Structure 1
Amino acid sequence: MTEKYDAFVIGTGAAGTTFAYKLNAAGWKVAIADCREYGGTCALRGCIPKKVLAGVANIVDEHNRMLGKGIDGGKIAIDWSSLIDYKRTFTEDHPGKREKGYRDVGIDTYHGIVRFADESTLIVGEKKITAKYIVITTGSKPRKLNIPGEEYLVTSEEFMERKELPKRIIFAGGGYISFEFAHIAARAGCDVKILQRGDSVLKEFDSELADMLVKASEDAGIHVIKGKELKNIEKTPDGFKVTTCCKDSGEDEVFFADMIIHGLGRVPAIEELQLDKGNVILDKGGIALNEYFQSVSNPRVYAAGDCIRPGPPLTPVVSMQADIAASNMIEGNKYTADYSVIPSTVFTIPPLAGVGITENVSSNKHKVLFNDMSQWYSSRRTNLGYAASKVVIDESNDTILGAHLLAPNAEEVINLFAMAMRYGLTATQLSSMVFAYPSIAYDINYMLK
């Protein structure tokens, strides 16, 4: 027997959930499926559990920074085993609650790998399903490196499930994953290295503030080593031998560790869908779409999230994409996404946040305001040591084109800059706002001078 639906959603993360509920609310007969636990990457294997770990790392670091400045006793470190137990209280019940939420509103749920049989037919396990529309929100996975010993790499997901951490950890790659988890591991007492192939790290962010974060990382005991491309990994009696190729000299250099974390990028998780049978073509490894999030080759298919290429791979962005795409499915293709003002943060200590253009793409028509905030009250209050801001302003009309922060609570303050940019507030208007004092938001008045 073939089940029939108005829409079948593949993936139960932020994007898939947005699709399912919005289409269901419009009166459509909807089903959703996942080959893993319900909930997706962010809730189970990404943002949410990571921020739990990062929060404890920050508490530990604040304690140690304030020793002799109001805090008595010795240095402390993360109790990793109990932290992982605490982290699981945020994730263990989530799949059941997510599935129950679907069922409570009449969305049918399926478990298993989904494959295309033809343009409108899917196979889930032994069940055949036809749908007027098929929605793909399968997310991403760590990319294959095709190097000897790749099987020894540990993903960030596996890292967050370990009940114990080894002494020596290498993070391969200089992006979000490596820096965030390196800061956590360092506060757990690990000997941490980050190996970056190129000369710069965290390329999505302002390069000067990223370099300041590298210094803060080094002070925290994290060794950031640039120009080292991963070549192969060998298992040894004492752990792992990591061979890298030096970018400048071409000579190999060897490092030793007990664990190597994969932080070298992610790719769309679409291999098992058999997209060719559904006439769904790809573009640069992601599902090829028009501006309405509709497949360019199969009009029955819409997609959003990390399995497509437009837009940064951030949870609020994929939810926005899904909301727009669902509206297009319901009303006809009318709506497109605006990615011009998307704030993002790397949750290190201190956090690094940014929105809009960076100084390196500014012109002589732009004014760049840089402030070293390390001696400002908001930073000195907790003996932070590293803090700075950079704001790019269009001198012709006083609008804010970019804002970048390395500072306590940067993840919150960047949202105020993003809101000002989105709704056209000038720098003068934003700085005239009376913020609560003393607060990091109040510092905006000084960042714009």
Structure 2
Amino acid sequence: MPIFDLIVIGTGSAGATVAQTARKAGKSVAIIDKLPFGGTCSQRGCDPKKVLVGAAEIVARSEQMTGNGIASAATINWPDLMAFKKTFTEPIPENTEAKFRDLGIQFYHGVATFLSPKTVRVGQDELTADHIVVATGQRPKPLNIPGEELLIDSTGFLELSQLPEEIVMVGGGYIAFEFAHIAARAGAKVTILHQGKRPLEGFDADLVSLLVKAMEALGIRILLEANVTAVEGQKDRLTVRYEQAGESQSILTNLVIHAAGRVADVAELALEKAGVKVGPKGVAVNEFLQSVSNPAIYACGDVADKGLPLTPLASYEGKIAINNILTGNRQAYTDNPTPSAVYTIPTLASVGLTEEQARKQGRKVKVTFQETNDWYTSRRINESFSAFKTLVDEETDEIVGAHLLGSGCDEVINLFTLAMKHHITAEDLRNTLLAYPTHGSDLSSMLPD
């Protein structure tokens, strides 16, 4: 039975960070993954998605400027776009293995299953270690409806060789909204079915409302409080059945995409054999990212029950987990201002508290909200939907929340994050000179006097 100082399960941002740091510290390390090495973000998530978004942005910009100096709108050649995307994703597994090999990390392909608190089986091998880090990420949440096997997930969408004419997205979060924009700009007719009262529930309601208007103007159909009950038919000819307002409805479509949330990918790990407790959000960990029920086990990234499922947080948590393994639990997890963006067109970005959250906490804040489609940065590209909302603490003058809609906001949100992280006041930010005309130069106009 091979014995290691550390076993890592998962090769994404969190797991790779843990394994590489441990090996550089002189520890013997094994790493396991049932999927191609390199993790979700780089192969099946953020990075390839943003490649497709880039093409959709070109289409959107050309459509907005048609008749204003641009003769005609661009169009997407889907097979060519997917071939371009593969130039980013295909080298990753081999490059990741090469990096592990160069560092002297022993790697295993296959499903990891715990046999005991410190022993894992993968294939025919049984491995044991003083510490084991679970960094397996998330998987699509089971829908538990008839015909669930007829749906594809986000990975399937990012591998489509041809784009169907009609698509239904089940869910109303990041994945549904981003893929809807990509598909619509590529010429598909898209319907979103969301069981909640409003989509993108973690984002500012006023800006989400404007984003929905932008999507409806594009021809994307969004049905709320629509509970999908079944999917029937065969490839390319599917019927989606759902209930809305107490009535049974149905939609005919070529493709149905599961975008209704994700859960911790732990089903195959047999964590009960390791004495590891799992809660609704994932592996239950303490402030050191250590299992609350087995001190030999740590968890980080999307599979742990702390933080948001975002790539920067996965890397951050991986650093915390391995530092604590190496030094004996000296670094506690702390909540940092963490920006997030929905790569729709226009983009929606957010950091800090929403107005609803601030009110619930009893915070005294100055709220500034304004639509900005008449601002220069929007008018110069003929952008119809853009807006912002900022929240500034009345007592300290520090920014506690920023919410942006429009082109460039995924970069501007980083300026707000920097200000929040380092306690830069709204007054100091307003008085900072920024290059003009840029999206960043709008920042001073987003803050109260």
Shared fold, TM over 0.5: yes
Task: Report the secondary structure of 2:114's partner residue.
Answer: strand
1:326-341 correspondence to structure 2 within 5 Å: 326-341=322-337
Asked if residue 281 in structure 1 is aligned to residue 274 in structure 2, the reply is no
Task: Report the secondary structure of 2:437's partner residue.
Answer: coil
Post-superposition Cα deviations, 1:121-167, rounded to whole Å, max 9, x if no partner, equal: 11111112110111110111001111111111110110110110111
Alignment partners' CA distance in 1, 2:437 and 2:236: 51
Task: Report the secondary structure of 1:273's partner residue.
Answer: coil
Q: Aligned letter for 2:432? A: M
- In structure 1, which of residues 85, 88, 98 is the aligned counterpart of residue 86 of structure 2? 88
Asked if residue 240 in structure 1 is aligned to residue 238 in structure 2, the reply is yes
* Kept in 1: contact 2:289–2:321 (CA 8 A): yes
* Kept in 1: contact 2:339–2:351 (CA 8 A): yes
* Kept in 2: contact 1:241–1:255 (CA 8 A): yes
Task: Report the secondary structure of 2:395's partner residue.
Answer: coil
Quote the offset at 1:339 in angstroms. 2.1
* Kept in 2: contact 1:295–1:302 (CA 8 A): yes
Quote the offset at 1:362 in angstroms. 2.7
Task: Report the secondary structure of 1:329's partner residue.
Answer: helix
Residue 409 of structure 2 corresponds to which residue in structure 1?
410
Q: Aligned letter for 1:12? A: T
Residue 31 of structure 2 corresponds to which residue in structure 1?
32
Q: Aligned letter for 2:203? A: F
Task: Report the secondary structure of 1:23's partner residue.
Answer: helix
Task: Report the secondary structure of 1:311's partner residue.
Answer: coil
Residue 76 of structure 1 corresponds to which residue in structure 2?
74
Asked if residue 315 in structure 1 is aligned to residue 311 in structure 2, the reply is yes
* Kept in 1: contact 2:174–2:342 (CA 8 A): yes
Alignment partners' CA distance in 2, 1:336 and 1:184: 39
Quote the offset at 1:84 in angstroms. 0.4
Moved more, 338-347 or 93-102: 338-347
Q: 1:50 to 1:237 in 2, by over 3 A?
A: closer
Residue 116 of structure 1 corresponds to which residue in structure 2?
114
Moved more, 89-98 or 274-283: 274-283
5+ residue gaps in structure 2? none
Residue 349 of structure 1 corresponds to which residue in structure 2?
345
Post-superposition Cα deviations, 1:5-40, rounded to whole Å, max 9, x if no partner, equal: 100101000000110111112111111111111001
Residue 179 of structure 2 corresponds to which residue in structure 1?
181
- In structure 2, which of residues 262, 268, 282 is the aligned counterpart of residue 266 of structure 1? 262
Q: Aligned letter for 1:339? A: D
Quote the offset at 1:280 in angstroms. 1.4
Alignment partners' CA distance in 2, 1:194 and 1:42: 23
Alignment partners' CA distance in 2, 1:305 and 1:71: 44
Residue 5 of structure 1 corresponds to which residue in structure 2?
4
Post-superposition Cα deviations, 1:159-218, rounded to whole Å, max 9, x if no partner, equal: 110110111101111100000000000001000111111221101110100010000111
Alignment partners' CA distance in 2, 1:227 and 1:19: 41
- In structure 2, which of residues 320, 325, 329 is the aligned counterpart of residue 324 of structure 1? 320
Moved more, 411-420 or 195-204: 195-204
Residue 191 of structure 2 corresponds to which residue in structure 1?
193
Q: What's the TM-score, normalizing by structure 2?
A: 0.97
Quote the offset at 1:222 in angstroms. 0.7
- In structure 1, which of residues 73, 98, 101 is the aligned counterpart of residue 99 of structure 2? 101
* Kept in 2: contact 1:7–1:131 (CA 8 A): yes
Post-superposition Cα deviations, 1:41-71, rounded to whole Å, max 9, x if no partner, equal: 0011000000000011001111111111111
Alignment partners' CA distance in 2, 1:398 and 1:301: 42
Alignment partners' CA distance in 1, 2:166 and 2:48: 22
* Kept in 2: contact 1:136–1:301 (CA 8 A): yes
Identity across matched positions, percent: 45
Alignment partners' CA distance in 1, 2:57 and 2:235: 34
5+ residue gaps in structure 1? none
Alignment partners' CA distance in 2, 1:90 and 1:125: 30
Aligned residues: 445
Quote the offset at 1:361 in angstroms. 2.5
Alignment partners' CA distance in 1, 2:6 and 2:236: 53
Residue 375 of structure 2 corresponds to which residue in structure 1?
376
Alignment partners' CA distance in 1, 2:149 and 2:271: 27
Calculate the aligned-residue CA RMSD, in Å. Answer: 1.2
Quote the offset at 1:340 in angstroms. 4.2
Alignment partners' CA distance in 1, 2:278 and 2:354: 31
Quote the offset at 1:75 in angstroms. 3.0
* Kept in 2: contact 1:139–1:306 (CA 8 A): yes
Quote the offset at 1:236 in angstroms. 5.8
Alignment partners' CA distance in 2, 1:189 and 1:42: 26
Post-superposition Cα deviations, 1:88-142, rounded to whole Å, max 9, x if no partner, equal: 0000011000110111111111111111111111111111211011111011100
Asked if residue 304 in structure 1 is aligned to residue 304 in structure 2, the reply is no
Q: Aligned letter for 2:84? A: Y
Alignment partners' CA distance in 2, 1:110 and 1:237: 35
Moved more, 138-147 or 102-111: 102-111
1:160-239 correspondence to structure 2 within 5 Å: 160-235=158-233, 239=237
Q: What's the TM-score, normalizing by structure 1?
A: 0.97
Alignment partners' CA distance in 1, 2:422 and 2:380: 33
Moved more, 276-285 or 88-97: 276-285
- In structure 1, which of residues 336, 353, 359 is the aligned counterpart of residue 355 of structure 2? 359
Quote the offset at 1:237 in angstroms. 8.6
* Kept in 2: contact 1:340–1:356 (CA 8 A): no
Quote the offset at 1:76 in angstroms. 3.0
Post-superposition Cα deviations, 1:213-259, rounded to whole Å, max 9, x if no partner, equal: 0001111111111121111111169711111111xx31111111110
Asked if residue 60 in structure 1 is aligned to residue 59 in structure 2, the reply is yes
